[in-house]
């Protein structure tokens, strides 16, 4: 069994799931837990969602012996919202909205790293909804709900129209700081010790190993190694950018300076100077340790290498790659968030 979870969700008037909150997902559960659930639900295998009513919740609370899940089931007895049990026998392509939300939770709970699980089919299974102070609302039902609130003397606050909610309404991993919670999507992997400043952004299926300073954009599919600083307005090219399929990763103790960025993977202890964006086709002049010219290459030939310093020669305008003799070091006092 890959994963399972009991969830509380929202459905629209067509009885379609809009979102699901899984408080305590179980990654690679013990067979005893799976068996106790199967004894009540009749589960025989495969990836499936089982809608739960109060009677089924009660029976499960008697059958399940896992302390954390039993405690959760006791709490679910009080729910007035729709409830679901999602079981993922294998890490295969997604087939439902509850399955999709469970895999996003697994990322944000740090059970898996970005690109470690199958997210094929994700976009059609995530409905575009209004994220409001009253929860997720189907866009076809939004106007009516807005009118209801106005007639009651209130304003329905619509924070976003999107497929992805913000992570912190579902998961708050320990040991992090996020200055603007709307800029980290559910499905982000935020490693312990990570600080995400006000203009920082972490997409789903992307993230940090921690500790990290994120003041720029971590695009879908990108992983940032520990000790790396992504400077103000710096960016990383995601696997969706331009329809590409290159997975970008940045190693440990790197510095992507303000307004800089990379479209190639980087190894450890690399630096890109402020304002310089390295794309796969960027022509780079390789210099030795004494700054003597060696050869011209396209940046894609340097992908994944360590100890690189990229800068633009202020006299010639040529982009150079030199040996990076210094690695950045994050201030540990800034990244202890417990």
Tens of pLDDT, residue by residue over 178-224, are 999 999 999 999 999 999 999 999 999 999 999 999 999 999 999 99
CA pseudo-torsion sign 296, 297, 298, 299: negative
Catalytic residue selected from 215, 289, 307, 320: 215
- CATH code assigned to 167-335: 2.160.10.10
Residues 164, 327 contacting (CB under 8 angstroms) = no
> Where are the domain boundaries for CATH 3.30.60.70 in the chain?
130-162
Residues 6+ apart with CB under 8 A from 75: none
> Where are the domain boundaries for CATH 2.160.10.10 in the chain?
167-335
Looking at every residue in the chain, the average pLDDT score rounds to 94
- Taking only the tens place, the pLDDT of each residue in 17-44 is 999 999 999 999 999 999 999 999 999 9
DSSP 143-171: HHHHHHHHHTT----EEEEESS-BGGGT-
> Where are the domain boundaries for CATH 3.30.70.2010 in the chain?
3-126
Determine the average pLDDT of the residues in 120-142: 98
> Does domain 130-162 sit in CATH 3.30.565.10?
no
Determine the average pLDDT of the residues in 129-150: 98
In 23-112, beta strands by DSSP E: 26-27, 48-52, 83-88
CA–CA distances in Å: residue 171 to residues 82, 101, 152, 184, 286? 19, 12, 32, 11, 44
Q: How sure is the predictor about 328, in pLDDT bands with cuts at 50, 70 and 90?
A: low
CA–CA distances in Å: residue 156 to residues 128, 143, 295? 18, 10, 61
Known catalytic membership, residue 116: no
pLDDT at 242: 46
pLDDT at 155: 98
> Rounded to an integer, what is the distance from CA 260 to the centroid of its chain?
22
Give the fold, CATH level 3, of 3-126: Alpha-Beta Plaits (3.30.70)
- Taking only the tens place, the pLDDT of each residue in 269-311 is 999 999 999 999 999 999 988 888 999 999 999 999 999 999 9
Residues 6+ apart with CB under 8 A from 298: 280, 281, 282, 283, 284
* Among 231, 185, 192, residue whose Cα is nearest residue 208: 192
């Amino acid at each position: 069994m890959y994963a399972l979870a009991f969830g509380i969700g929202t459905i629209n008037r067509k009885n379609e799931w809009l979102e699901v909150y899984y408080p305590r997902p179980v990654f690679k559960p013990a067979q005893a837990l799976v068996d106790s659930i199967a004894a009540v639900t009749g589960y025989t295998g495969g990836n499936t969602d089982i809608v739960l009513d109060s009677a089924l919740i009660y029976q499960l609370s008697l059958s399940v012996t896992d302390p954390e899940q039993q405690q959760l089931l006791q709490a679910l007895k009080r729910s007035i919202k729709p409830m679901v049990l999602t079981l993922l026998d294998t890490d295969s392509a997604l087939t439902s909205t509850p399955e999709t939300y469970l895999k996003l939770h697994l990322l944000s709970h740090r059970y898996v790293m970005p690109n470690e699980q199958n997210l094929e089919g994700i976009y059609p299974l995530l409905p575009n909804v209004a994220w409001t102070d009253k929860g997720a609302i189907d866009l076809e039902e939004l106007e009516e709900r807005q009118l209801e609130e106005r007639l009651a003397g209130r304003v329905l606050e619509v924070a976003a129209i999107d497929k992805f909610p913000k992570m912190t309404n579902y998961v708050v991993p320990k040991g992090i700081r996020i200055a603007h919670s709307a800029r980290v999507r559910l499905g982000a992997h935020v490693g312990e010790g990570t600080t995400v400043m006000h203009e920082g952004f972490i997409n789903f299926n992307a993230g940090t190993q921690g500790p990290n300073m994120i003041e720029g954009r971590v695009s879908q599919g990108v992983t940032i190694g520990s000790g790396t600083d992504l400077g103000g307005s710096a960016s990383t090219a995601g696997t969706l950018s331009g329809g590409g399929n290159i997975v970008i990763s940045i190693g440990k103790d790197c510095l992507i300076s303000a307004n800089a960025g990379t479209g190639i993977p980087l190894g450890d202890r690399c630096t890109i100077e402020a304002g310089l964006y390295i794309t796969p086709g960027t022509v780079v002049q390789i210099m030795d340790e004494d700054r003597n010219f060696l050869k011209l290459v396209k940046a894609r030939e340097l992908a994944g290498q360590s100890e690189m310093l990229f800068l633009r020669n202020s006299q010639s305008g040529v982009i150079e790659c030199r040996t990076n003799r210094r690695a950045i070091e994050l201030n540990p006092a800034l990244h202890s968030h417990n």
